[in-house]
Structure formats: structure tokens, C-alpha cells
Structure 1
Amino acid sequence: MIERIIDKRPHDLGGGFEVGRVLPFHARRMVGPYIFFDHMGPVDLAAGIPRELDVRPHPHIGLSTVTYLYDGALTHRDSLGFHQEIRPGEVNWMVAGSGITHSERFEYARAHGAHMHGIQAWVALPVEDEETDPAFYHHEGADLPTWNEQGIRGRLIAGEAEGMRAAVKVHSPQFYMHWDMEAGASRILPAEYEERAIYVAAGTAELAGQRVHAGQMAVFEPGRDVPVHAEERSTLMALGGAPIGPRFLFWNFVSSSRDRIEQAKEDWRRQRMKLPDDDDREFAPLPAEGKA
């Protein structure tokens, strides 16, 4: 029932802040439309941390980004003029489409110190929506359906699942869920979508009869319900959806067209993409080929 298990790999975002990268993986590039999945932390940041740890202004095309935190806070600024603090349990959903730039800074941690822990994911857009106008949405509260089962607290972050629908605007059939499970709690991941995975962000869980530890993603074969059992108190992320076809990926650019990737690289190299409002004094340089 488990197609493969993917371990997170350390990846430096460029300023010394390290995340655990899960997707893309060489043998499994995507799960449904989810083409990128980074586990941030858990890590304690002391007050006064240097600005070099921040994610400087950088560009995106052809995707939506989703930032979701368990702990801490991040400050988002983008080239559309949005300035948003994201806190635990909230969703920043940014549609890059034809092109957008943004920064993500640890301003709260710099001022107060913070325990940072969260997930950043990218959702590839369908071919017909790859050049849609960029947009930004912030969601919290009733926009994100929550529920309680015996020993389980759940939240639907995006898409539709189990009769629920999140308010986040998505462009293809998909789901993205957060489960906090007490030791001994069990539930089922239904066979609603062709491609599905569960990432264990904390704890240890038995997925389809196999033990999966924190920092591992289990990708499942289609067509069968997946039994899930928490061996200890655990945090799980369930995600997936309908496949949307292969994509090219370079750095922060995703597209069905290699030529479009090359155009985006040239646009950034020649500084033809507007930087975020109130954050336009520095930017992340285009990486060398093979280092993206």
C-alpha cells in the first residue's frame, strides 16, 4: 500500500537557515499538484538574530505557495503590496501565476525570540492557469474547517476532503490537512484522490501497517483506504490530489514549458520583476545551473 518513503534532506535557504526538503524527490517529483514540500524547524531563534537568516526577496512563476506554521511567526511582503504576519494555524496562499516576488522574514523572532516550526509547500498550477494573474490570500478561523475525533484534532488547510471544503482558492482537485494525534489515536485516510501522501512532522505513526518516523513522507498507492495509527503524540500532514502532468522546475520557477523557465531566469537576471513594496533594497541572486 505504501509506494515509497521519502526522508527529508537538509537544505540551506541561502542565508544559513536550514530546512528539511522532502519534495521534489528524484524518484517522486510530485504528489498530486504538490511539487515542493519543506519542513522548517523545529528550531529556537534567539532575539537579535541576523537579517541574513531571512528569506530575501525572490521570484516565482507557475505555482501557488502555501505557508503553514505550528509555532512562531513569519512576515510576508510581496510585489502586489501585501504585508502580512502569519501565525500558527493560519494560511498564506500566494498565487504566483505569471510572476510575483516576495520575502519572508523572521521579524517577530528578531524582536522577541521564537520557537519556529512549520511547513512550506508549492502547488503547481494546471497548464491553463500557469499564466494567471498573481494574487495573495490570507485565511484563518472559519475559512479552514476544523474537527475533533477521539484523540485527534484536524484542520483542512486547502481543497476538499471528507465532505469539507476550505475557503482557499485552488486551481485543481486537491487536499491538504493537518492532524494532531494523541498516542493511540487512529483514523483512516480515504481513497478519495489518485495521489496521496502523509508526512510525519512530529512523533511516530503506523501508516498502512508500517512505522514512519518524524521527517519521513509516505506516498501511497491509489485505490485503497490507508489506516493511520499514532504510536505516540504526533503531528501529521496529509496531502495530494489529481495529477496535473510533468513540470520543469528550476530554483523558484515551475512550468510545463522549459522555454518559460528560461524566460523567467532572464527576467530575474535583468531585474525586470518588481520587488516587494517596502522590501526592495536586496534580493536573492539567480543561482548557478545545477545549484537550484
Structure 2
Amino acid sequence: MDSETRPPAAVDSQQARRILQRTSGKTTGPITRLASPSDIGQLIKPFVLLDYAELDLPSPIDARLHPHSGIATLTTLVGGSLHFQDSNGQPRSVMDGGVEWMQAGRGIWHGGSVSSTGTARMYQLWIGLPPPLELSAPSQMFLRPEDVPSDGPAHVLLGSLNGRASPICEPQPITYLHVRLREGENWRYTPPAGHDVLWISLYSGSLDAGEHVSEGELAIFEQSERSVDFVASANCGFVLGSAAHSPFDLVEGYYSVHTNTAALQYGEAEIRRLGAQLCVDGRLAPEQAARVERQMSTMTGHGQ
């Protein structure tokens, strides 16, 4: 993979990789849903869901325990810090530039007390796990900002860039970067061989990527392996994802995404088993377990 910061230069519009689709998502309260498995996630899978949130929580709130299976989630802070409980109920903090990685596999529950220092600005990305991993044992990993490698303006959250590799073992070849550019700065991204999915989500400022992209937009590039030049129109920050387009179906449950109906059923059975144990342990209220059961039962998986 090749990426470099270069003096500002005009981008040849005839060679520019076109933006196929863009969206500002749907905002509910402090959270903006930019992509989900039933819509844009189909275009950019294995990236199947992307949320951007701005949380100002000086006093803790209770985020209900809830489950996942079949996916991995990566949460990264681009401002402030977030304090919460991990899947074992232990207190954790993620600072600006830090990362939480959770590979749900066959099933995991998380939630509990959440607060922030300042306004926590964050992305949560869901990645659909391939068949060998979608029913694997769950795991979690936390990276401090200083543990996230960088190459020029790009911080490597998943995958590698010019030999700088994330400590997280990605479930399949994926590159996920957090990039900050100064006004007028030009940065080129060249995907690894086979990566024909490319998208960016801009959370501050604006830039030119052959076309203008504004703050708050998710821009999806045409399926190709061509490089893209980014020229900052103003100081800006964005996340970038690239990968080979996944050949697997997205079979959705209320909290889960799997590659087939049998795997979804297995994951939801494990979620029920874990929920029953959490009730016995006193960590999960029976009424919340019943609520999750009702939600799972109202949504049947469907291949896309």
C-alpha cells in the first residue's frame, strides 16, 4: 500500500475516481446513522454499519446491556474521551485517538454506565465477519492513542499503511484510517491490490477528492482499485475504509449480522444462553432479557 503527503497539485478530473454515492445519514438525538446493512452496507461490505456520535455526558447514564453476534465493532474517538463498562463489567476509557475493538463472534453482551470528558466525538464501525470467524469466541482489545501507529497524517486503526501496522488482527484484509489534513494539504491514498471498496466520512472541515466533500458526508467511491488524491479545502478530519468487496450475504437480526440464516440462529441462541447467565449473575434485569428476546423474535434474517 502506498500513501504520501505531497505539495498541493491539481487532480486530473479525467483520471479521478468518481464518487458513486454520498449521504449525510439519518440523525436521531446525538447519533447519526450513516450506513446500515440493509442500505449502503450492501455497497461497502464487509463494512456494514457506520455511526457517528457526539455525546456530552458529564454525569453517567445507564446504557442498557445488549448483545451482538456475527460482527466486529471498532469504536474510535476523534474528540473528547468516553468512559464505560466493557463486556465483563469492568470500567474502561477511550481517549481522543484511542480505539475499542470488539469481535462479537458467536455472541457477546455489553453496556452499562457511560459518561464523557468534554464532548466525546466518535465513530462506531461494524464489520461483517467471514464464515470462519462469525461463530468464533468473542474477544475485546483496547488501544491507547500512543498505541495506534501513524504514517504522515494517517492513523492506522486497522490493517497497515507503508509498513505501519495496527496491533489489531483484522478478520480479513481491511484498511481503516483516521486522517487529519491541514488547509491546502494534499494526501494520496493508493489501496492495496484487491481493495475495490473505498469510502470516507468527513467529520470536520471540507476537502476535494475529485469532487467536493463537506463535513458530515459519507462519500462512497466507485468500485475500482485506483488511487484518490485528497486536497484539504480547510483543516479537516475524516475516516477512510478500503477492502475487497465481500461476496457474503448479509443476514440480519435485530442485534446481529451473519452470512447465512443457520449462523444467525446459532448466534441468537448463544445470545439467549448468555443473557440467562447474566440474569443469574445479577448483571442483567429479567425484563431487559425479555425485551431483547422480543426484539430478536420480531426480525427475521434475510439474505441480500
Q: Which TM class, normalised by the smaller chain length? A: 0.7 to 0.9
Aligned residue pairs: how many? Answer: 274
SS at match of 2:245: coil
2:67·2:255 contact (CA, 8 Å) conserved in 1? yes
Distance 1:290 1:8 in 2: 26
Aligned to 2:215: 214
Residue deviations 1:157-214, cap 9 Å, x none?
111233321101211000110111111111111132221111111111111x101111
Change (3 A) 1:210 1:160: same
Distance 1:205 1:274, change over 3 A: farther
Question: 1:216-235 to 2 correspondence within 5 Å?
Answer: 216-221=217-222, 222-235=224-237
Aligned match of 1:23:
35
User: Structure 1 residues 253 and 273 mapped into 2: Cα distance closer, same or farther (>3 Å)?
Assistant: farther
The CA distance in 1 between the partners of 2:257 and 2:95, in whole Å, is 27
**Residue range with higher mean Cα deviation, 68-77 or 95-104:** 68-77
The 8 Å contact of residues 23 and 29 in structure 1, kept in 2 or not, is answered as no
CA distance in 2, matches of 1:283, 1:18: 23
Q: Hey, what does 1:8 align to over in structure 2?
A: 24
* Matched residue SS, 1:29: helix
CA RMSD of aligned residues (A): 2.9
Q: Cα 1:266–1:87, aligned 2, differ >3 Å: closer, same or farther?
A: same
Q: Which moved more, 1:281-290 or 1:136-145?
A: 281-290
Aligned residues: percent identity? 22
Contact 1:22 1:39 in 2 (8 A): yes
Report the CA distance shift for 1:283/1:160 in structure 2 as closer, same or farther (over 3 A): farther
3-state SS of paired residue (2:171): coil
Pair 1:126 & 2:139 matched: no
- Counterpart amino acid of residue 19 in structure 1: I
How big is the shift at 1:55? Answer: 3.0
Q: Deviations over 1:59-98 (max 9, x none)?
A: 0101111110122322343444553211111111011001
Aligned partner of 1:252 among 247, 250, 255: 255
Q: What residue in structure 1 maps to residue 79 of structure 2? A: 71
Q: Which structure has the greater CA radius of gyration?
A: 2
Report deviation, 1:264: 4.3
Counterpart secondary structure, 1:128:
coil
Stretches of structure 1 lacking an aligned partner (at least 5 in a row): none
DSSP 3-state at the match of 1:212: strand
Q: Is the 8 A contact 1:79 1:274 kept in 2?
A: no
Residues 1-292 of structure 1 aligned to structure 2 (within 5 Å): 1-12=17-28, 17-24=29-36, 26-41=39-54, 45=56, 47-48=58-59, 51=61, 54-80=62-88, 82-103=90-111, 105-109=113-117, 114-141=118-145, 143-148=147-152, 153-192=153-192, 193-207=195-209, 209-221=210-222, 222-244=224-246, 245-265=248-268, 268=271, 272=275, 274-275=277-278, 279-281=283-285, 283=288, 285-286=291-292, 287=295, 289=298
TM superposition shift of 1:278? 8.4
Residues in 2 aligned to 1:271 and 1:132: alpha-carbon distance in whole angstroms: 15
- Gaps (5+ residues) in structure 2? 1-16
Amino acid at match of 2:234: E
Residues of 1 paired with 2:231 and 2:277: CA distance?
47
8 A Cα contact 2:84 2:115, kept in partner: no
| 2:42 counterpart SS class | coil
Shift in CA distance, 35/28, structure 1 to aligned 2, threshold 3 Å: closer
1:124 CA displacement: 1.2
Aligned to 2:5: none
Q: Output the amino acid matched with 2:142.
A: H
Contact 2:207–2:234 (CA under 8 A) maintained in structure 1: yes
C-alpha change, 1:135 and 1:48, in structure 2 (3 Å) is closer
Q: Give the superposition deviation at 1:275.
A: 4.1
The structural deviation recorded for 1:291 is 12
**TM-score, length-normalised on structure 1?**
0.82
Partners of 2:39 and 2:271 lie apart in 1 by 26
Q: Which moved more, 1:84-93 or 1:30-39?
A: 30-39
- The answer (yes or no) to whether the contact 1:200–1:215 under 8 Å persists in 2 is yes
Give the Cα–Cα distance (whole angstroms) in 1 for the partners of residues 21 and 270 of structure 2.
37
